[in-house]
């Protein structure tokens, strides 16, 4: 996915952007001038510094304060029960399932960047895969809170697992809600292992560079005796490829299983075969939007513009353009099938979704998921406009939340029998728990960027010109001098 910069005529404009290769006109993946030592110092210095920026403390305190909303909301929920939420009959599913699907979707970009782009040997992923993987894990943590609390009796959540018990009662394996448990737990397990394995070489580097005994012991324990030997590198590469192969099907399967929560129900608006690919594309769409939301402030706050370059931002915007187009196709097929099916129920569902009491939510998602992104991301100038991309990423994630809201609420609150019609209004506790999970996600991410290497040093070093074997190129002695 080559990203070309603006064409420049040296005779007219002698000022050449150093981030653009004059031979190809493409934006660089890494800024010129880096060597092994500078890459290591820049990334390891953020973790090993004794002078933590005040902005980091401020952000951590704010995130912790927002997380208290989750703690307070869950505490009151356990004391009073799910009646404090806005769920009613027929709208028995509310914010809990909406937020669960939204958070799971956000984590998909991390797996795609880590696994699929690794198998396709896309080296531009190296600068962003580490915090994209962290985003995946933290999003799954936030998503996992909702199945535990929305079942009504969270202390009995272990009943979802097939454990030996004297009652001989096992989960209902024909229920997609039980499938969610196995899909999400597998997804979380593989993601954590993949994330940790990828950091082992960097832990070895931090162990060797740490000056404080506690830091040296901590990173030494995490490095598992890493010495950088040939045998270690061979096993590291083999493990990475194996985990990438295991993770790749999860990108497709996890959100497919999530979509079955709706698709297997005999309910207008849910009972459709387009949901699996539609949900997967939407998950990658929202996931890359969240990666942009995180990457843009990080590269600015920690001065990482030379490692997370415009090439990365433009490529992620292109992926959003592709997946957003698939999502738009899914929206169009929903409208088409409501008409083509000649089903009165399907037709009314779509009319009610557009023009009913909740119609405003449908048009918000059309505006934020299709109208704004898919008319602007075709422009290369806007794809490399950092401010625009950051605002657009927030717009897209807002739209993807409204997509889940529309799917869940508008299909439930007006079902087949008009006598059963109702409405849905979220309560302050719904909002408190939802915003609290945002605080938890941000809190975990602040801890990650401070105490773990947010960009993989070993993979960035492999991309430097010094590693290319060329006639008259760098030899072992030159590389050794640069590392020292």
The pLDDT value given to residue 10: 42
Nearest in space to 115 (alpha carbons), one of 42, 198, 175: 198
Nearest in space to 160 (alpha carbons), one of 150, 149, 146, 170: 170
The pLDDT value given to residue 221: 93
For residues 240-259, average pLDDT: 88
Cβ neighbours around 282 below 10 Å, total: 28
* Count of CA atoms in the C-beta half-sphere (13 A) of 290: 34
What's the pLDDT band for 247 if we cut at 50, 70, 90? confident
Question: Is the pTM higher than 0.85?
Answer: yes
Q: Are 206 and 164 in contact (CB under 8 A)?
A: no
* Structure tokens belonging to residue 96: 């809990």
d(CA 359, CA 352): 7
- SS3 track for 38-100: HHHHHHHHHHHCCCCCHHHHHHHHHHHHHHHHHHHHHHHHHHHCHHHCCCCCCCCCCHHHHHH
d(CA 179, CA 183): 6
Q: How far apart are the first and last CA of the chain?
A: 34
d(CA 250, CA 254): 5
Q: In this predicted model, what pLDDT tens digit does every residue of 125-180 receive, in sequence order? A: 888 888 889 999 999 999 988 988 887 777 877 777 777 777 777 777 888 888 88
Nearest in space to 449 (alpha carbons), one of 39, 43, 41: 43
DSSP assignment of 200-260: HHHHHHHHHH--SHHHHHHHHHHHTT----HHHHHHHHHHHHHHHHHHHHHHHHHHHHHHH
Q: Are 7 and 16 in contact (CB under 8 A)?
A: no
Cβ density class 332-358: b for 16+ within 10 Å, e for less: eebeeebeeeeeeebebbbebbbebeb
d(CA 185, CA 465): 40
The pLDDT value given to residue 12: 43
What's the pLDDT band for 480 if we cut at 50, 70, 90? very low
The pLDDT value given to residue 88: 83
325: pLDDT strictly greater than 90? yes
Q: In this predicted model, what pLDDT tens digit does every residue of 191-212 receive, in sequence order? A: 999 999 999 999 999 999 998 9
* Count of CA atoms in the C-beta half-sphere (13 A) of 129: 28
The residues, any chain, with a CB within 8 Å of residue 118's CB and separated by 6 or more, are 125, 129, 240, 241, 244
1: pLDDT strictly greater than 80? no
Vertex 337, ends 332 and 340: CA angle to 5°? 125
The residues, any chain, with a CB within 8 Å of residue 78's CB and separated by 6 or more, are 149, 154
The residues, any chain, with a CB within 8 Å of residue 104's CB and separated by 6 or more, are 139, 140, 143, 184, 254, 255, 258, 283
The residues, any chain, with a CB within 8 Å of residue 253's CB and separated by 6 or more, are 183
Torsion over CA: 263, 268, 273, 275 (sign): negative
What's the pLDDT band for 463 if we cut at 50, 70, 90? confident
Alpha carbon 472 to its chain's center: 43
Helices (H), 268-385: 275-301, 310-340, 344-355, 359-366, 373-376, 380-383
């Amino acid at each position: 996915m080559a990203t070309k910069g603006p064409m420049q005529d040296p005779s007219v404009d002698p000022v050449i952007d150093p981030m653009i290769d004059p031979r190809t006109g493409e934006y660089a993946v890494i800024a010129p001038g880096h060597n092994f030592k500078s890459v290591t110092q820049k990334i390891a210095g953020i973790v090993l510094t004794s002078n933590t920026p005040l902005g980091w403390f401020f952000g951590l305190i704010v995130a912790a304060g927002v997380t208290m909303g989750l703690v307070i909301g869950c505490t009151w929920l356990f004391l009073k029960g799910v009646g404090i939420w806005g769920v009613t009959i027929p709208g028995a599913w509310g914010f809990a399932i909406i937020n669960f699907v939204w958070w799971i979707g956000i984590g998909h970009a991390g797996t795609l960047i880590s696994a699929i782009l690794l198998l396709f040997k896309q080296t531009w992923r190296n600068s962003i895969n580490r915090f994209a993987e962290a985003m995946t894990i933290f999003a799954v943590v936030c998503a996992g809170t909702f199945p535990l609390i929305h079942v009504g009796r969270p202390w009995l959540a272990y009943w979802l697992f097939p454990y030996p018990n004297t009652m001989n009662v096992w989960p209902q394996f024909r229920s997609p809600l039980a499938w969610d448990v196995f899909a999400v737990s597998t997804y979380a397990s593989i993601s954590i292992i993949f994330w940790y394995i990828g950091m082992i070489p960097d832990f070895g580097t931090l162990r060797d560079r740490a000056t404080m005994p506690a830091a040296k012991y901590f990173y030494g324990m995490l490095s598992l005796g890493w010495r950088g030997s040939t045998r270690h590198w061979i096993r590291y590469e083999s493990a990475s490829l194996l985990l990438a192969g295991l993770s790749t099907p999860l990108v497709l399967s996890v959100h497919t299983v999530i979509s079955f929560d709706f698709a297997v129900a005999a309910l207008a608006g849910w009972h459709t075969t387009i949901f699996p690919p539609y949900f997967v594309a939407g998950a990658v769409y929202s996931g890359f939007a969240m990666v942009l939301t995180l990457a843009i402030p990080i590269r600015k706050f920690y001065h990482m513009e030379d490692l997370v370059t415009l090439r990365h931002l433009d490529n992620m915007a292109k992926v959003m353009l592709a997946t957003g187009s698939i999502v738009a196709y899914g929206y169009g097929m929903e409208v088409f099938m409501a008409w083509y099916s000649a089903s009165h129920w399907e037709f009314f569902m779509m009319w009610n979704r557009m023009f009913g009491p909740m119609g405003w939510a449908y048009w918000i998602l059309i505006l934020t998921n299709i109208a704004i992104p898919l008319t602007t991301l075709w422009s290369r100038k806007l794809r490399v406009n950092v401010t625009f991309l950051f605002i657009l990423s927030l717009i897209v994630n807002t739209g993807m939340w409204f997509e889940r809201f529309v799917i869940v609420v508008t299909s439930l609150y007006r079902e087949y029998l008009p006598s059963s019609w109702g409405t849905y209004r979220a309560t302050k506790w719904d909002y408190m728990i939802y915003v609290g999970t945002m605080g938890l996600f941000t809190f975990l991410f602040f801890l990650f960027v401070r105490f773990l290497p947010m960009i993989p040093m070993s993979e960035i070093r492999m991309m430097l010109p010094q590693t290319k074997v060329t006639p008259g190129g760098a030899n072992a002695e030159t590389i050794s001098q640069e590392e020292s």
